[in-house]
Amino acid sequence: MTKIRESMLKCILKPRVESDLPGRLRLCFPRYAMLPDSAGPYLHYVEDVLKLLPGVHTVRVNARIGTVLVIYDQGICATRQILRWVNIVMETGIGLAQEMENTGIKDEAIIAAMVRRRLILRLPQCQGDTD
């Protein structure tokens, strides 16, 4: 993956906080429409990886308008932790995409397992953040 493509993906995937109520965070991805159509079948993973963060109970992705609603336990995690986790997920996904291009691995189950393992290892990076 070229640096330009990587920069474009980071820009497209940068969320904006649309609503931040205690225990309820709505993120908007304003450049969501710029994602390639090939990304559509993988959007269900957004829910899976956000739920890895302790305290996150429910994640609802609205692919039509590019929003994600996160319902969480504010006693366990905070908005700042969720936003940090979104950034870690994005960085991990882009890094893995580069790796997949180089190795030629295309099996979705293998890729999903690799992402999950890497993200679990990065969970402690979010645990110290507070609002």
Q: Which residues of the chain have pLDDT under 70?
A: 1, 36, 38-42, 127-131
What is the reported pLDDT for 131? 45
Angle at 84 between CA 71 and CA 93, to 5 degrees: 100
> Which domains can be identified in the chain, with CATH numbers?
3-127 (3.30.70.100)
* Largest distance between two CA atoms of the chain: 43
- Distance separating alpha carbons of residues 34 and 11, to the nearest angstrom: 10
Strand partners, 34: none
Strand partners, 21: 24
pTM for this prediction:
0.81
